[in-house]
A = this chain, B = another copy of it.
Amino acid sequence: MKLTRMTAKEAACFIKNNDCVALGGFSPSGTPKAIMSAVAEKALAEHQAGREYKIHLNAGASVGDSCDGALSRADAVISRIPYCDNKDMRQAYNKGDIAFHDLNLADNAAFLRQKLTHVPTWGIIEAADIEEHDGTYHIYPTSATGIAPTICHIAEKGLFIEHNIWHEKAIKGIHDIYEMPNSWEHHIMRISHPTQRIGKPYLSIPAERIVGIVECNLPDEARPMPPSSDIHNTMGGHAADFVHWNIRKGILHPQHLVFQSGVGSVANAVIGAMGRDKNIPEFSVFTEVFQDAPFSLLQEGRIKGASTGALTLSPENLRLFYKDIHLYRDKVVVRPSEISNCPEIISRLGVCAMNTAIEVDIYGHVNSTKICGSNMMNGVGGSSDYTTSATLAIFTCGSTAKDGKISSIVPFCSHIDHTEHHVDAVVTEYGVADLRGKCPAERAELLINIAHPDYRPILWEYQRLSLQHGGQTPHMLTAAFALHDTYLRKGDMRLVDWNEYTIK
């Protein structure tokens, strides 16, 4: 059976108002770029013609501006699942114009299979190559897979394949495609070292499921991260010292170090610091994104193996990766998101998880997602998948934001994504608070001591007020969010007036 070739615009014609589209790729590597741009243009034309046109969108994680940005600017999205870091879409869902459902990335594929989220009408997958084998097509993904294995069989009306020749066929063999079985099959995930393979290097799709092939030549949309600041590097140094301390204590094994590195500049700085610290032997990564910093460490031989959900390299570095791919074939595995973020495997590999926090409260709860409790930043991503299952879960955050007007250590997190029960240690530029085995009073002391010096007396005053109320984790609930409210009203948390928060 011959596949139908079509333009992105022709493919977009299939996608109707109220349809749900699911995308392969991950954060935003390997996400389709051609058809969704055409859908955004179609939406603008439809709206101009006075017709309703909006779709539901589900992706592995973030997608490029060609999709999230273009669609939200075209007012073409009803709902979006899960992680999303596009500023236009962020604005829309925080205004309530788009229903944004945050979800652990490990759960997205299972929720699709269980039909707990919108059933996709269509699926779109970016391919580096397509091969026919007796009426079945082998689709080789590009720089990420995301939820593609599930989309392939769950999309109601079929699939579009974007054959993007910007990527190189040489990537064939890097992927390990495997879909989780149903929970009641009591299946053992037989991955016992980071780069072990259990699946196939391609997606297998019956010809009749493929509605059309769209040829394109579009660069990947992962952006290079802003360079790490001095504060980031200081935090990285503290984190590396702390890891070394855990090795000396026998909690981590020097020959079997496996790190997760999170998303963003801080994550780059932290994994970079691990690489530079000669007290830390060469290590592996089991992670959801593989950014430029770990790629440098792979080139230097400091990283001996990497499992990732996505090659989130800048286009330049991705080109370099393709050029030298023969060097990385045995060392790098790209996995679907439900495997890259699979709690069972993260737990088994004894992963040391390193994620960034927006804020941390004095008892060790972490906010990763909401500004002042209400405004979603990006989403929880894989931070909960990793934090709940890691052997050692570390959070990093600069002690302040907005030129010192915001403290990252607060009396009570305005939103909680990770609880005291899973947060092991917190790192700011002032040091490390190791919370393991500590009771609440000890935790508060450790955390206040790594707050910015401007905020330490403020936090101690909150503690003093709270202690009058007693309890194992003393709080004065009317003042728990005093810093946040002061920032919202006066623009600087340091201007807090506790008298305003004590109801007489």
Contact = CB atoms under 8 A, between A and B. Distances in A.
Interface of A: 79, 81, 93-96, 99-104, 111, 114-118, 182-184, 186-188, 190, 192-193, 249-253, 255-256, 343-344, 347-350, 365, 370-376, 380, 384, 388-389, 391, 412, 414-422, 436-439, 441-442, 466-467, 469-475, 477-478, 480-481, 484-485, 488-489, 500-501, 503
Contact of A375 (B104, B343, B421, B471): B471
Contacts of A183: 347, 350, 391
A488 B416 CA distance: 23
A60 to B, nearest CB: 17
Contacts of A100: 439, 472
A477 B373 contact: yes
A25 B418 CA distance: 30
A155 B258 CA distance: 30
A350 B186 contact: yes
The 3 closest A-B pairs by CB, nearest first: A374-B471, A183-B350, A184-B253
A439 B478 CA distance: 28
A193 B186 contact: yes
A119 to B, nearest CB: 11
A337 B253 CA distance: 24
A440 to B, nearest CB: 8
A472 B343 contact: no
B184 A192 contact: no
A99 B470 CA distance: 13
Nearest to A391: B183
Contacts of A347: 183, 343-344
Residue in A183, A251, A481 with the greatest tally of chain B CB atoms within 10 Å: A183
Number of copies of this protein chain within its complex? 2
Contacts of A417: 419, 421
Nearest to A256: B184
A231 to B, nearest CB: 27
A142 B27 CA distance: 52
Contacts of A481: 477-478, 480
Given A187-B192, A188-B348, A417-B419, 10 more contacts: A94-B471, A104-B421, A104-B422, A111-B437, A182-B350, A374-B466, A374-B475, A375-B471, A384-B422, A501-B503
A188 B188 contact: yes
B391 A388 contact: no
Given A100-B472, A419-B417, A438-B101, A251 B188 contact: no
Contacts of A436: 111, 114, 116
B485 A478 contact: yes
Residue in A376, A472, A477, A489 with the greatest tally of chain B CB atoms within 10 Å: A472
A344 B350 contact: no
A478 B503 CA distance: 11
Contacts of A250: 114
9 contacts: A94-B472, A101-B439, A103-B421, A111-B437, A186-B349, A186-B350, A375-B470, A417-B421, A418-B419
B471 A389 contact: no
A350 B414 contact: no
Contacts of A469: 374
A184 B343 contact: no
A500 B503 contact: yes
B473 A477 contact: no
Nearest to A110: B391
Contacts of A478: 478, 481, 485, 501
A470 to B, nearest CB: 6
Given A343-B389, A471-B376, A416 B416 contact: yes
A163 B44 CA distance: 79
A436 B338 CA distance: 17
Given A188-B190, A250-B114, A391-B183, A484 B477 contact: yes
